[in-house]
Amino acid sequence: MNDRRLYVTYGGDARRMTLELMEAAHVADGIPAGASIALKPNLVVPSPADGGATTHPEIVEGAIEYLRAHGFRELSIMESSWVGARTEQAFSACGYRALSERCGVPLYDLKKDAARTVATPIGGMRVCARALDADYLITLPVLKGHCQTRVTCALKNSKGFLPDSEKRRFHALGLHRPIAALAVVRRPDLCIVDSICGDLNFEEGGTPVPTMRMFLGRDPVMVDAYGCRLMGIDPREVEYIGLAERWGAGRMEIAPEDVVSLRDPSHAPAFPKPSGLVSKLTRNVVQDSACSACYGNLVHALYRLRDLDPDFHERIFIGQGFKGKRFEGIGSGSCCGGASCPIPGCPPDADRILQALLDAK
């Protein structure tokens, strides 16, 4: 398989599309015989794929079918949901427990896995052992919007290889540098992207957008750059993609001849222009090193608050940077326990935040 090729297909039958992509790219030719293969979907929250947050299980099923047909037997599915969510619950809610039983492929909750410290361009990082030890790693992200990094796709999906303590530390380090550094030490070997109905605003879903496509590539930097362009975002404006390129995890350049379209793109709906919704919702939020779940829940609460109280303009503080500080205002999450109006929880869920914001006025 050509390293610089990116295969794209369109439609709604995720299993068939996965098989089509893997066949076209001759994926099996690049996998060593007898390799242990880890499949890493995005199961950030326990919510089915039609909500726009998680990978369609049919894609993983198609990948298993392809790999089995080419003689690969040592397969596993692994993930660690975001801080505050239980991966086991996500496995059930997203259809992966049923898939595992049907296909005989084990599921591993990486929150329960041992972690090892590996050297990265920004220093030591704790990474789950199963992710480090797999011979061949297939990442299966959803192309989505993200309230802090604007986009999440292949590179950021690797955050599920971390124990929760390291996920929190990623946010304290500003997210971009650690995401790029992780790509250097545990670069996926193959990326199969679910862009069937990803949520273009919220990482945790809730407002899915049917875009009816999938794409496959070997270079996660190139794959993310392609995803950005689909979303109308210049990949050079997403710091972690540029850093990953600078540190040697891949290249964001895409020549027209690199993109192989397996079906007529006119059958797929166009990507809508970025709505800027998250920026509008968070214009009064002061954040410093907030974890994704914490920030995502706040954004969701603000989204619902729009209808209930359109005149809400209070400033809200959030993030690990406020730990131990005392200040006037609303503080979301236990890190902001020193606020005059604190919202407890680590992270607080959107219902609790919403109620607290309504009570705060």
Taking CB under 6 A as the criterion, the residue among 21, 25, 44, 83 binding ligand SF4 is 83
Using CB under 6 A as the binding rule, whether residue 162 contacts ligand SF4 is answered as no
Q: Of 122 and 346, which CB lies nearer to ligand SF4 in the complex structure? A: 346
Using CB under 6 A as the binding rule, whether residue 347 contacts ligand SF4 is answered as yes
DSSP letter string, 25-47: TTGGGGS-TT--EEEEE---SS-
Using CB under 6 A as the binding rule, whether residue 291 contacts ligand SF4 is answered as yes
Identify the burial level of 187 via C-beta atoms within 10 angstroms of its C-beta, where 0-12 means exposed, 13-18 middle and 19 or more buried.
Answer: buried
DSSP letter string, 103-114: HT--EEEGGGS-
Q: Considering the complex, what minimum distance in angstroms separates the CB of residue 342 from ligand SF4?
A: 10
Q: Considering the complex, what minimum distance in angstroms separates the CB of residue 87 from ligand SF4?
A: 16
Q: Of 177 and 323, which CB lies nearer to ligand SF4 in the complex structure? A: 323
Q: Considering the complex, what minimum distance in angstroms separates the CB of residue 121 from ligand SF4?
A: 24
Gap between the Cα atoms of 48 and 344, Å rounded:
28
Say if CB 55 and CB 142 are below 8 A apart.
yes
Query: What is the amino acid identity at position 233?
Result: I
Using CB under 6 A as the binding rule, whether residue 343 contacts ligand SF4 is answered as no
Using CB under 6 A as the binding rule, whether residue 168 contacts ligand SF4 is answered as yes
Query: What is the amino acid identity at position 297?
Result: N
User: Pattern 292-331, binding to ligand SF4, x per CB under 6 A?
Assistant: -xx------------------------xx-----------
User: Pattern 195-234, binding to ligand SF4, x per CB under 6 A?
Assistant: ----------------------------------------
Query: Cα dist. 84→51, 176, 281 in Å?
Result: 19, 21, 22
Taking CB under 6 A as the criterion, the residue among 290, 299, 316, 330 binding ligand SF4 is 290
Say if CB 284 and CB 313 are below 8 A apart.
yes
Contacting range for ligand SF4; rule: CB under 6 A; set: 190-198, 208-216, 230-238, 288-296: 288-296
Q: Which of 218, 162, 169 is nearest to 189 (CA)?
A: 218
Gap between the Cα atoms of 41 and 57, Å rounded:
8
For residue 355, what are the contacts with CB-CB under 8 A and spacing of at least 6? none
Using CB under 6 A as the binding rule, whether residue 147 contacts ligand SF4 is answered as no
Q: Of 31 and 179, which CB lies nearer to ligand SF4 in the complex structure? A: 179
Q: Of 95 and 342, which CB lies nearer to ligand SF4 in the complex structure? A: 342
Q: Considering the complex, what minimum distance in angstroms separates the CB of residue 11 from ligand SF4?
A: 38
Using CB under 6 A as the binding rule, whether residue 38 contacts ligand SF4 is answered as no
Contacting range for ligand SF4; rule: CB under 6 A; set: 5-13, 17-25, 157-165, 291-299: 291-299
- In the DSSP assignment, the letter for residue 215 is E
Gap between the Cα atoms of 182 and 170, Å rounded:
10
Using CB under 6 A as the binding rule, whether residue 121 contacts ligand SF4 is answered as no
Identify the burial level of 124 via C-beta atoms within 10 angstroms of its C-beta, where 0-12 means exposed, 13-18 middle and 19 or more buried.
Answer: exposed
Using CB under 6 A as the binding rule, whether residue 333 contacts ligand SF4 is answered as yes
Structure tokens at 287: 């954040």
Contacting range for ligand SF4; rule: CB under 6 A; set: 145-153, 211-219, 267-275, 287-295: 287-295
- In the DSSP assignment, the letter for residue 270 is P
Cis amide bond preceding 48, omega within 30: no
Q: Considering the complex, what minimum distance in angstroms separates the CB of residue 175 from ligand SF4?
A: 12
Q: Of 21 and 290, which CB lies nearer to ligand SF4 in the complex structure? A: 290
Q: Of 145 and 333, which CB lies nearer to ligand SF4 in the complex structure? A: 333
Query: Cα dist. 289→29, 168, 326 in Å?
Result: 42, 9, 17
Taking CB under 6 A as the criterion, the residue among 305, 341, 346, 358 binding ligand SF4 is 346
Binding positions for ligand SF4, rule: CB under 6 A: 83, 168, 290-291, 293-294, 319-320, 333-335, 346-347
